[in-house]
């Protein structure tokens, strides 16, 4: 698969204005991994969240725009970044004023959020995902689609088209409208977009499997399977039409790729991920993020950005060192947080380090 867009860029500078606990923060970077150290509540994760908003969507916390603005000023927030890469450089801004939908500018010109997915690939792993394998399917589906989006930037457009048609179909169902003509057009749109969603997901899983095959890594291989509670066969539109009576009773669409799930197995042990230990579940997630990064580097020629929040705290010294070695070997600009500088000792001069402290309710960053 050939890469779409520029891909593989890193951040040269990052500025936050009135973003959460950061009134005015600027980081100047050189492409190495970034270690951000500070006590809990100092504002470390806020920096990673800002970087995550340089990709489409609501960021790693899925926060409402109004929640991102610094109080008490509440005048809006802004994130600015200079991106660099082989033969390319771009200035990106994303911001929100008065709690309105966020806007994007690329090189000074207004752009849709989806354009960010073609410019910069961003993957993340945060503590809230530690229970991914044992919680409801929605979180696993979101995790899968974030990986899919890294391979196929148009995946977001297909998801938006599918969701828009499904919301309208659900409105008809709730209002108990039975006119088949109204449903037919919407179901055709859902079938077209749904086929692309399903194909993209399966292609991404194949890329992840290939990236794990024979890889030199300290993390266990995870075998993944895309599952559905219902089998709609080869024709989703027909299945939706046949399921209208059931959906009318439920008041919502009960069949389709929006109900997909991701099953994982700890390959070396043959144990389902949801039955593995807490440490093994975390290791499987790290393995998948690293495999995703390796596959993207093979496709695009450069690794994506990695956002790893408090990741070192869950690993012993040997596993931490192995993780850092793999990140450096990938050439990835990984952004990592931790409460103690010692967690990053084995990185040494291979990383840039920043300290974050809280002063009078503000986050202050020191290099």
> Residue 44 carries which DSSP code?
H
For every residue of 315-336, DSSP letters joined together read S-HHHHHHHHHHHHHHT--EEE
Rounded Cα distance, 243 and 239, in Å:
6
Q: Is the pLDDT of residue 192 over 70?
A: yes
For residue 261 the two structure tokens come to 């799930």
pLDDT of residue 273: 97
| Residue 331 zone, left/alpha/beta (φ > 0; ψ -120 to 50; rest) | left
pLDDT in tens, 88-104: 689 999 999 877 889 99
Question: Model's pTM, two decimal places?
Answer: 0.92
pLDDT of residue 100: 84
Residue 71 confidence class, pLDDT cut points 50, 70, 90: confident
pLDDT in tens, 120-136: 899 999 999 999 999 99
pLDDT in tens, 206-234: 999 999 998 999 999 999 999 998 888 88
Average the pLDDT over 300-321 and give the result.
Answer: 91
pLDDT of residue 87: 58
Provide the percentage of residues in the chain whose pLDDT is more than 70: 97
Q: List, in order, residues 6 or more apart from 133 with CB less than 8 Å away.
A: 140, 264, 273, 274, 276, 281, 284
Alpha helices per DSSP H over the chain? 44-52, 114-119, 137-151, 155-174, 180-212, 236-242, 244-250, 278-300, 317-330
Q: List, in order, residues 6 or more apart from 269 with CB less than 8 Å away.
A: 276
Q: How many CB atoms sit inside 10 A of residue 281's CB?
A: 22
Q: Is the pLDDT of residue 73 over 90?
A: no
Higher pLDDT among residues 57 and 360, named by residue? 57
Rounded Cα distance, 240 and 192, in Å:
12
For residues 130 and 278, the answer to whether their CB atoms sit within 8 Å is yes
pLDDT in tens, 318-360: 999 999 999 999 999 999 999 999 999 999 999 999 999 988 8
For residues 30 and 61, the answer to whether their CB atoms sit within 8 Å is no
For residues 217 and 326, the answer to whether their CB atoms sit within 8 Å is yes
pLDDT of residue 212: 95
Residue with token string 């991701």: 262
Q: Is the pLDDT of residue 200 over 90?
A: yes
Average the pLDDT over 21-27 and give the result.
Answer: 94
pLDDT of residue 86: 63
């Amino acid at each position: 698969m050939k890469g779409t867009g520029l891909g593989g860029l890193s951040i040269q500078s990052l500025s936050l204005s009135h973003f959460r606990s950061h009134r005015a923060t600027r980081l100047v970077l050189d492409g190495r991994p970034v270690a951000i150290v500070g006590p809990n509540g100092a504002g470390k994760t806020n920096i990673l969240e800002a970087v995550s908003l340089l990709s489409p969507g609501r960021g790693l916390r899925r926060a409402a725009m109004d929640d991102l603005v610094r109080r008490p000023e509440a005048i809006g927030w802004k994130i600015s970044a200079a991106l660099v890469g082989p033969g390319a450089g771009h200035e990106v801004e994303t911001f929100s004023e008065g709690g309105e939908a966020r806007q994007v500018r690329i090189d000074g010109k207004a752009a849709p959020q989806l354009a960010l997915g073609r410019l910069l690939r961003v993957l993340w792993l945060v503590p809230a995902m530690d229970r991914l394998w044992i919680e409801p399917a929605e979180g696993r589906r979101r995790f899968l689609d974030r990986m899919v989006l890294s391979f196929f930037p148009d995946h977001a457009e297909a998801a938006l088209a599918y969701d828009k048609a499904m919301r309208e179909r659900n409105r008809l169902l709730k209002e108990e409208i039975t006119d088949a003509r109204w449903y037919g057009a919407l179901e055709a749109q859902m079938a077209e977009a749904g086929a692309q969603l399903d194909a993209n997901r399966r292609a991404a899983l194949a890329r992840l499997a290939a990236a794990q095959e024979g890889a030199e890594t300290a993390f266990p291989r995870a075998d993944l399977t895309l599952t559905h509670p219902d089998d709609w066969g080869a024709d989703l539109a027909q299945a939706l039409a046949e399921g209208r009576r059931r959906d009318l009773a439920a008041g919502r669409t009960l069949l389709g790729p929006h109900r997909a799930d991701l099953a994982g197995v700890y390959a070396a042990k043959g144990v389902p991920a949801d039955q593995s230990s807490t440490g093994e579940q975390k290791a499987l997630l790290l393995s998948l993020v690293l495999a995703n990064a390796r596959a993207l580097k093979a496709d695009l020629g450069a690794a994506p950005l990695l956002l790893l929040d408090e990741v070192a705290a869950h690993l012993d010294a040997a596993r931490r060192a192995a993780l850092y070695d793999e990140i450096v070997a990938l050439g990835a600009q990984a952004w990592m947080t931790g409460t103690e500088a010692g967690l990053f000792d084995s990185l040494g001069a291979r990383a840039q380090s920043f300290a974050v402290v809280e002063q009078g309710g503000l986050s202050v960053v020191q290099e």
